Structure 1
Amino acid sequence: MKKLLLLTLLAASGLAQSDGAIPDVVKNVSQQQNITIIKQIDAPGGAPGWLGQYQDMGVTLFLTPDGKHVVSGYLYDEKGKNISEAYFQKEIYAPMGREMWKKLNAAHPLKEGAENAPRKVFVFADPFCPYCKAFWAEAQPWVKAGKVQLNTLLVAFLNPASGRNAAAILNAKDPVTAWREYELSGGKKRPQAEGTASRETVEIVQNHQTLMDSLGASATPAIYYLNEQNELQQVVGMPNEKQLEAMFGPKP
């Protein structure tokens, strides 16, 4: 998307739709490009502009002074700041994040830590993922201090035995304890499977994978938490110290 420098004198063009109507040329472009128009925006300089959504991405559309052409892209100010991103975050990404957070909470995680912990973190983990084990170990001081509730969503795709191990953990009498012992043993202490995995267990693992895919993650650990603005944040892979503090808070 190229920088837009078309904002001067647009207010004088008289093309702004004060009644909220969308010009036909904007409708045609949005329909042809599969863009859903969300709302008209008050762009600097009085530029007639509209916020749209293409798949999971935000897009801004601007009408040229002749009223016959549409420019699609980001809007920048004189200092190079991306103004469009603020619209995307408020109107698209933040609401999508809240919906995804609801889905995470409705899943079947292995919960470690106090239910009333001030911070809640979700992580998709494969039983054979070494970085998942490292992340789990790093999180323990915050969990034990009651600062964080760690919610692990087991998935299975790294190893042919991932599904068997995930099912064995979920089918254990105490899945949280089974997961803890599995992690502490470096993946060597796996609960003995009793028969084949239940249909419910298989569906839980499959649903976790589907949810992980819908969040746009393709590797583990895939970590999600809310920042101070209640915006959904994603970290894929082993977090560094700065990222750990951002999601967990100061180390206890």
Structure 2
Amino acid sequence: MQRRRFNLTALASLAVLGPLAGCGRQAETPVATMTPAAASATAPTTEVAAPASATASAAGQNIYTLAASASGFSIGPMMSAHTVYVFFDPTCPHCAHLWANAQSVTKQLKLVWIPIGFLRPQSQPMAATILAARDPVAAMTENETSVASQGKGITPASPLDEAAVAKVKANTELFNKFNADSVPLIVYRNGKTGEVGQHSGAVEGAQLLAFAGL
């Protein structure tokens, strides 16, 4: 799959967001009125299945299996033994941050990007437009470059592909099963240890490789 260069101006604008951040529905609340509990809910978290516990390990494997059942599109080697799943909302600037960072590791790691409608009413039609595009990677790049530059993102298709809308709805329902409250949500399995976990928030490319055990 052909790689596309992420807009450098957009990358510069993302720097103000800071690393390891995510977008939650709480972000719609003005900062002046946000409660401490709501603010802490947007902090990135990582959950890893404990290998010493058979129950925890089984739960972790289920997380990874559930993510693999979602509808998305991939970047990186198609036959890679290392796959990381990313649930994203097309209106989320931190998802755009992660998309940009992921470009540096696509020769080593396969990432499956799973669009959901989570943050705003326009999220679902935008997600369906990306998923149904003839070239989802190009559509994603267009959207993330715009969002990173504080734009409105990709223009939803008209009419929308109903099959894609249904897939986005199913992805969103699946996302809700992970008890996550922000995007991007990264679901991974460490190839060295077998540990399975999830992480809320954008990370650097090196951390994506570490999640996969590379």
TM-score bin (small chain): 0.5 to 0.7
Which one-letter code corresponds to 1:95 in the other structure? A
**1:24-73 CA distance string (max 9 Å, x none):** xxxxxxxxxxxxxxxxxxxxxxxxxxxxxxxxxxxxxxxxxxxxxxxxxx
Q: Please list every run of 5 or more consecutive structure 1 residues that lacks an aligned counterpart in the other structure.
A: 1-84
Q: Are residue 127 (structure 1) and residue 90 (structure 2) matched?
A: yes
Aligned residue for 1:179, secondary structure, equals helix
> Partner residue of 1:75?
none
CA gap 1:90/1:249 in 2 versus in 1, 3 angstroms: closer
CA gap 1:215/1:148 in 2 versus in 1, 3 angstroms: same
> Partner residue of 1:177?
138
Q: Please list every run of 5 or more consecutive structure 2 residues that lacks an aligned counterpart in the other structure.
A: 1-48
> Partner residue of 1:149?
110
Question: Does the Cα contact within 8 Å between 2:126 and 2:156 map onto a contact in 1?
Answer: no
State the 1:209 CA deviation.
1.3
Question: Does the Cα contact within 8 Å between 1:178 and 1:191 map onto a contact in 2?
Answer: no
- 1:202 aligns with one of 136, 142, 165: 165
Question: Does the Cα contact within 8 Å between 2:85 and 2:188 map onto a contact in 1?
Answer: yes
Which structure is higher in strand share?
1
State the 1:175 CA deviation.
1.9
CA gap 1:169/1:113 in 2 versus in 1, 3 angstroms: same
State the 1:188 CA deviation.
5.0
Aligned residue for 2:144, secondary structure, equals helix
1:67-216 equivalences in 2 (<5 Å): 89-143=52-106, 146-186=107-147, 188=152, 190=154, 193-195=157-159, 197-216=160-179
* Separation (CA, whole Å) in 1 of partners of 2:169 and 2:200: 19
- The higher-RCO structure (CA 8 Å, 6+ apart) is 2
Based on CA coordinates, which of the two structures has the bigger radius of gyration?
Answer: 1
* Separation (CA, whole Å) in 2 of partners of 1:191 and 1:177: 13
State the 1:214 CA deviation.
1.2
Question: Does the Cα contact within 8 Å between 2:186 and 2:198 map onto a contact in 1?
Answer: yes
> Partner residue of 1:219?
182
Q: Are residue 246 (structure 1) and residue 207 (structure 2) matched?
A: no
Matched positions, count:
162
* Separation (CA, whole Å) in 2 of partners of 1:97 and 1:248: 14
Which one-letter code corresponds to 1:161 in the other structure? Q
* Separation (CA, whole Å) in 1 of partners of 2:168 and 2:205: 30
> Partner residue of 1:50?
none
* Separation (CA, whole Å) in 2 of partners of 1:245 and 1:173: 29
Which one-letter code corresponds to 1:233 in the other structure? G
- 2:198 aligns with one of 231, 234, 242: 234
* Separation (CA, whole Å) in 2 of partners of 1:200 and 1:100: 25
State the 1:225 CA deviation.
0.7
* Separation (CA, whole Å) in 1 of partners of 2:96 and 2:200: 14
